[in-house]
């Protein structure tokens, strides 16, 4: 069984052990170079936000972290292991320690919420009794604030609730690292802020390290201990949100101005929309 990471040490994140280390990572699709030398560290119990425009390679980056895509060059260490040199069984074992919350919630529509949560648990953890499975399902549902939804079908849930169940299904394996791909995409501002709050609660309660991929600046500001911007295939400006956005670099100020103007427009348009 996977154990939870050790509790947050009372130190600055960069003084804690590194759980993800990326050096000189490159990835091209045909002639198109998407990642051109990405460097990034994530420390124990730290939330790192990766910001970037659509198509900048954010999802490619986290798919490389869990071995769904292979890098062209560079080194990727996750929990001390070189992801792309691992034999199949060791990669599967590593993936059980890393929760991947997909850009779409990817729930099984024919299963109710309880069954959606039981599935990864019984597939990946041997020897749990029916009672232990039920306890873990309930604990994960409580962690995302949806304790009463056990019997509901995915089609009966709102967009925000589906996201929460997707996160609960990832948490049920008690991962040491969480990877969130666009956790607030398509959600209204109130539901988005609830998801941001949930990401912070997961970090505090489970002491997970996280990478949060987003182009939502509110999400970045609320959840990121540090923020990194993926631009032209490299990480630009890694630091706290305020440090990064106090930069005079026009590529950073341009991203900020574009997103806040654009976000306001999007939010005004979506008011009264999806809940
Ligand atoms: N398997 C693949 N084969 C070919 N091209 C790909 C593949 N996966 C991603 N790409 C390309 O790589 C680029 C980066 O894609 P990626 O999905 O990482 O963008 P993103 O930053 O996550 O964007 P978004 O914010 O829209 O989710 C895109 O141009 C995409 O078309
Ligand atoms: Mg993406």
- Tell me: do 170 and 182 sit in the same domain: no
- Tell me: do 183 and 92 sit in the same domain: yes
CA-based R_g, the chain, Å: 19
Domain boundary among 133, 157, 174: 174
- Tell me: do 112 and 240 sit in the same domain: no
| Within-domain flag for 36 | no
- Tell me: do 189 and 259 sit in the same domain: yes
- Tell me: do 237 and 144 sit in the same domain: no
Question: The domain spanning residue 185 has which CATH number?
Answer: 3.40.50.300
| Within-domain flag for 159 | yes
Question: What distance in Å separates the CA atoms of residue 275 and residue 38, rounded to the nearest whole number?
Answer: 36
| Within-domain flag for 4 | no
DSSP state of 265: H
What domain count does the chain have?
A: 2
Residue to mutate, 57, 217, 228, ligand 1, most ligand atoms under 8 Å from C-beta: 57
- Tell me: do 65 and 193 sit in the same domain: yes
Write b or e for each residue in 180-195: b if 16 or more Cβ atoms lie within 10 A of its Cβ, otherwise e: bbbbbbbbbeebbebb
Residue to mutate, 59, 70, 180, 215, ligand 1, most ligand atoms under 8 Å from C-beta: 59
Structure tokens at 79: 């929990």
What's the CA-to-centroid distance between 52 and ligand 1, angstroms? 12
Total Cβ atoms within 10 A of residue 232: 12
Give the domain extent around 228. 45-69+81-97+178-265
Question: What distance in Å separates the CA atoms of residue 185 and residue 6, rounded to the nearest whole number?
Answer: 31
What's the CA-to-centroid distance between 186 and ligand 1, angstroms? 18
Residue owning the nearest CA to atom 25 of ligand 1: 54
Residue owning the nearest CA to atom 29 of ligand 1: 55
What's the CA-to-centroid distance between 59 and ligand 1, angstroms? 6
| Within-domain flag for 57 | yes
As for ligand 1, residues whose beta carbon falls within 6 Å of it are: 29, 34, 52, 54-60, 215
Structure tokens at 230: 């993926």
- Tell me: do 132 and 242 sit in the same domain: no
Sort strands 18-29 and 32-43 into parallel, antiparallel or unpaired.
antiparallel
Given this model, what pLDDT does residue 214 score? 92
- Tell me: do 182 and 169 sit in the same domain: no
Contacts by 188-193 with C-beta closer than 8 Å and gap 24+? 188/160, 188/267, 188/270, 188/271, 188/273, 188/274, 188/275, 189/218, 189/267, 190/275, 191/158, 191/159, 191/160, 191/274, 191/275, 192/216, 192/218, 192/219, 193/218, 193/222
| Within-domain flag for 88 | yes
Angle at which helices 189-206 and 130-143 pack, to 10 degrees? Answer: 130
Domain boundary among 151, 174, 197: 174
Per-residue pLDDT tens, the chain, 275 aa: give them.
444 555 544 577 778 899 999 999 999 999 999 999 999 999 999 999 999 988 999 999 999 999 999 999 999 999 999 999 999 999 999 999 999 887 777 899 999 999 999 998 998 888 899 999 999 999 999 989 999 999 999 999 988 899 899 999 999 999 999 999 999 988 889 889 999 999 999 999 989 999 999 989 999 999 999 999 999 999 988 999 999 999 888 888 888 777 766 654 444 444 333 33
- Tell me: do 229 and 125 sit in the same domain: no
- Tell me: do 91 and 187 sit in the same domain: yes
Domain boundary among 174, 202, 217: 174
Classify 66 as helix, strand or coil.
coil
Question: What distance in Å separates the CA atoms of residue 117 and residue 133, rounded to the nearest whole number?
Answer: 9
> Nearest ligand, CA of residue 215?
1
| CB within 8 Å of 194: residues ≥ 6 apart | 145, 160
Residue to mutate, 55, 69, 100, 180, ligand 1, most ligand atoms under 8 Å from C-beta: 55
Residue owning the nearest CA to atom 6 of ligand 1: 29
- Tell me: do 261 and 154 sit in the same domain: no
| Within-domain flag for 161 | yes
Write out the residues surrounding ion ligand 2, Cβ under 5 A: 59
| Within-domain flag for 12 | no
Does the global pTM surpass 0.75? yes
Q: Which helix (H) or strand (E) holds 213?
A: strand 209-214
Question: What distance in Å separates the CA atoms of residue 244 and residue 217, rounded to the nearest whole number?
Answer: 12
What's the CA-to-centroid distance between 154 and ligand 2, angstroms? 23
- Tell me: do 146 and 193 sit in the same domain: no
| Within-domain flag for 32 | no
What's the CA-to-centroid distance between 18 and ligand 1, angstroms? 27
Residue owning the nearest CA to atom 7 of ligand 1: 29
What's the CA-to-centroid distance between 228 and ligand 1, angstroms? 18
């Amino acid at each position: 069984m996977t154990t939870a990471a050790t509790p947050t040490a009372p130190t600055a994140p960069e003084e804690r052990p590194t759980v993800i280390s990326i050096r000189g990572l490159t990835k091209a699709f045909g002639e198109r170079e998407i990642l051109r030398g990405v460097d990034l560290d994530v420390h124990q119990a730290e939330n790192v936000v990766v910001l970037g425009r659509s198509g900048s390679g954010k999802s490619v980056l986290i798919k490389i972290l869990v071995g769904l895509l292979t890098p062209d060059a560079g080194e990727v260490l996750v929990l001390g292991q070189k992801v792309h040199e691992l034999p199949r069984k060791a990669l599967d074992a590593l993936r059980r320690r890393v929760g991947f919350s997909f850009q779409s919630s990817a729930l099984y529509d024919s299963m109710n919420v309880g069954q959606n949560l039981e599935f990864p648990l019984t597939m990946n953890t041997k020897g749990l009794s029916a009672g232990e499975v039920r306890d873990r399902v309930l604990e994960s549902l409580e962690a995302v604030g949806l304790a009463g939804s056990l019997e509901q079908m995915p089609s009966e849930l709102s967009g925000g609730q589906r996201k929460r169940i997707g996160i609960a299904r990832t948490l049920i394996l008690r991962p040491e690292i969480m990877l969130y791909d666009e956790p607030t995409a398509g959600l209204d501002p109130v539901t988005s802020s609830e998801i941001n709050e949930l990401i912070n609660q997961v970090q505090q309660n489970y002491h997970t390290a996280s990478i949060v991929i987003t182009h939502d600046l509110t999400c970045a500001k609320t959840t990121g201990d540090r923020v990194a911007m993926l631009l032209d295939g490299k990480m630009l400006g890694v630091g706290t949100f305020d440090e990064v956005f106090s930069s005079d670099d026009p590529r950073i100020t341009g991203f900020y101005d574009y997103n806040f103007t654009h976000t306001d427009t999007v939010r005004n348009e979506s008011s009264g929309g999806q809940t």
